[in-house]
Amino acid sequence: MKKKIVVATTNEGKLREFRQMLEPEGYQVLSLADLDHPAEIEENGTTFQENAVLKAQSVTDQFQIPAIADDSGLCIACLHNEPGVHSARWLGHDTPYDIKNQKVLELVKDAEDRSCYYACAIAWCAPGKEPKVFYDTWNGEIAREPRGTNGFGYDPIIYIPSMGKTAAELTKDEKNAVSHRGKALRKLEDWLSEQK
């Protein structure tokens, strides 16, 4: 009997990454789309950690089921770590990422410091329990131009010097091994296996 866990997202890219990592551990991974009329969750936290807890706790409170939620984003040094917690909503929630990525490239085109990092906080909530949060980062640079078709979001413009590729040029296994979400999720997995 697989244990059910809800990932509080409708983002197919995120959901795919969670499924790739959690299903081999024996979890049946559900998304918000699998729930009956989940309430709209307002992400009004000021940190990735706060937003992750808001999302997971909302699902747990509403459906009395364990839930995990991640809040992640891109922090660019020369833009004062923007778009940060607003990464998904930056320039508008429905704006395609190729437009967002072009805007980033324009904003940093003359910057000497093109360093950036992805951040990811994953919150775990369950009925009657204190939330747990797992956090990690992934360092890179803003590329000169978009490259690659894997991944999602800002991945085509995030160059990983140690790998000589953008995040969107990595295979899913390469990405999961080193990414902010992969590292935070492994912390969650280690913690979950300790709870068994």
What residue spans of the chain are helical by DSSP H? 12-22, 48-63, 97-107, 172-178, 180-195
Pairwise CA distance, residues 156 & 48, whole Å: 22
Among candidates 120, 121, 123, 153, which has minimal Cα distance to 139? Answer: 120
CA angle 143, 161, 70 (to 5 degrees): 75
**CA–CA distance from 63 to each of 33, 145, 157 (Å)?**
13, 44, 38
Can you tell me the mean pLDDT for 167-196?
A: 91
Query: pLDDT at position 159, please?
Result: 98
| 196 pLDDT tier (thresholds 50, 70, 90) | low
Q: Is 34 annotated as catalytic? A: no
**CATH domain 3-195 topology:** Maf protein (3.90.950)
pLDDT tens-digit profile of 5-61? 899 988 888 888 888 888 888 889 999 889 888 778 878 889 999 999 999 999 999
Tokens 């990525």 sit on residue: 101
Which of 70, 71, 136, 155 does the annotation list as catalytic? 71
pLDDT tens-digit profile of 98-145? 999 999 999 999 999 999 999 999 999 999 999 999 999 999 999 999
Domain segments of the chain: what residues? Answer: 3-195
